[in-house]
Amino acid sequence: MNRRAVVTGASSGIGEATVRALRATGWDVAAVARRADRLAALESETGAVAFAADLTQATDVAALAAWLAESGPVHALVQVAGGARGTDRAEDGKSEDWQWMFDVNVLAAQRTVAALLPLLRRAAASDDHADLLFVTSTAAQDAYPGGAGYNAAKAGEAMLAHALRLELNGEPIRVVEVAPGMVYTPEFTLNRLGGDADAAAKVYAGVEKPLVAEDVADVIAYALNAPGHVNLDLITMRPVAQSAQHLLARGPLRVRE
């Protein structure tokens, strides 16, 4: 029997790339996202099994958990779904944007973990171990101007992972956090900036080789495929051009003479 992973946010970006990376390394995958049309195409291309759900809705999460329980074991939950809205300063922040970010990054993750943890425990008991993997962000580690809402939401998700690792101590369940820096995911940036394509393009302008979704997916697959006794607590990854959250080189990378 192949191990099976549930990947959220699977209709685009890092989530979609993760589905492809896990399928390429032999996993069965349940691909979860809101957009059923994109999931259907991914299902056709990769052999993953699609399940359309809005994880901010308790009824959708309950339906997902019931379907998974009926369709086979769950060895890993890969929590990719999330997002950002706006780049306002804290004093100008829109409460509805902050609420949305907390809902999709923190509450949806907690709700999904709570619903699927019994399935993960069942798989861990029979098949050596299970995994909870969260894709957070370097925004969870360092604040930056205009990022307070997203900083707070991703820090909240990171703390969920940290607390779970402590709460699950003694159980054969690994809790992994992957925190990417700049990733070239145009849809994410376009959504954050309210559809302003010019502003979204400027985010990546002049940056030599930012990370791409496939880079993050490769790290996720590596973490899940590591021996079951090896837990990669926190993997922080950035492009070479980004030495820190606030320090980004624009222009060709070159050796200083």
Q: Are 76 and 10 in contact (CB under 8 A)?
A: no
Among 122, 124, 120, residue whose Cα is nearest residue 112: 120
Separation CA 23–CA 48 (nearest Å)? 7
Catalytic residue among 150, 184, 204, 222: 150
Instruction: Please state whether beta strands 234-237 and 28-33 pair in parallel, antiparallel, or not at all (unpaired).
Output: unpaired
CA distance 90 to 98: 10
| CA 150 – CA 84 distance, rounded (Å) | 6
Distance (Å, whole) CA 237 – CA 235: 6
Tell me if residue 144 is catalytic. no
Instruction: Name the residue with tokens 């399928």.
Output: 23
Q: What angle do CA 23, 213, 150 make, to 5 degrees?
A: 125
Q: Which residues are tagged catalytic?
A: 150
